[in-house]
Amino acid sequence: MSPAAIIAPSILSADFAELGKACADTIAQGADWLHVDIMDGHFVPNMTFGAPVVTKIRPHVDRPAGAYGKGTFDCHMMIAEPKRWVKDFKSAGCDLYCFHYEAAISSTAADSPSGTSDAKTSPKELIKYIHSLDMQAGIAIKPSTPVDVLWEILENSVQEERPDMVLIMTVEPGFGGQSFMASELPKVAALRKKYPELNIEVDGGLSEKTIDQAADAGANVIVAGSAVFGASDPGEVIRKLREAVDVRRGKL
């Protein structure tokens, strides 16, 4: 059976002047995780915030330290140097550090966890490093990246080098409120077929209108920004997104 639905509203669409309150309210309205979009203006053409802001908003969400589940901070690192910020985000209270495959393979040695050779940072090495700091590790791919790049990483027999979650972007990363790219769903279906128990996250353009397609393909971790924060009743949207995923469990 595929994993249960995890609804992770993207706080990119929240009121940044009231970010702590927005996080607390969203969890109270039924969200499981909070999706925290970190953008550096290099990897994507937009900037958000860094670890100091995460440090400030983290205490607004009451949850046991080290426990995964309700209140997990799912940090989506749309940044050019993913290794560089792992420790800072751990200290800030990040639970799941999700980096981009494209950024990892183009990072330099100085940015690599070992920092000892001139080899590119390897996604496996980065996953192991994230795990060594007791965070979950996610790996994300952009629409232009084929899903095939993930097979070698997922098939690794060394458990600490395997990701806990894969994120398939269903928009070009950088901005909220874009249109859902159904063209990315075959990637989700291919992953679900091979990995029935993997957490597969989709991000971008998810709403009550698009959730059925994503759930049919096998996604179970649902990021939604504008659909949740723009709703008059965010709790109702969260409930509908969850229901759409959960009715398909066992059928995939």
Ligand X SMILES: O=C(CO)[C@@H](O)[C@H](O)COP(=O)(O)O
Q: Is residue 234 close enough to count as binding ligand X by CB under 6 A?
A: no
Q: What gap in Å lies between CA 43 and CA 224, rounded to an integer?
A: 21
Site for ligand X in 87-146 (CB under 6 A): none
Is residue 211 within 8 A of residue 203, CB to CB? The reply is no
- Binding-site members for substrate are 10, 76, 174-177, 205, 225-226
Question: Which single residue brings its beta carbon nearest to ligand X?
Answer: 225
Q: What gap in Å lies between CA 76 and CA 108, rounded to an integer?
A: 20
> Residue 157 CB, nearest distance to ligand X (Å)?
31
Return the active site residues: 37, 203
Q: Is residue 74 close enough to count as binding ligand X by CB under 6 A?
A: no
Site for ligand X in 29-48 (CB under 6 A): 35, 37
Which CB contacts under 8 angstroms, 24+ apart, belong to 63-66?
66/134
Q: Is residue 82 close enough to count as binding ligand X by CB under 6 A?
A: no
Q: What gap in Å lies between CA 153 and CA 195, rounded to an integer?
A: 13
Nearest CB to ligand X, comparing residues 89 and 124: 89
E strand or H helix that includes residue 213: helix 211-217
Nearest CB to ligand X, comparing residues 37 and 81: 37
Q: What gap in Å lies between CA 94 and CA 135, rounded to an integer?
A: 7
113-148 b/e with 16+ CB inside 10 Å = b? beeeeeeebbbbbbbbbbbeeebbbbbbbbeebebe
Nearest CB to ligand X, comparing residues 114 and 179: 179
Binding mask 156-195 for ligand X (x = CB under 6 A): ---------------x-xxxxxx-----------------
Which spans of this chain sit near ligand X (rule: CB under 6 A)? 10, 12-13, 35, 37, 76, 171, 173-178, 203-206, 223-227
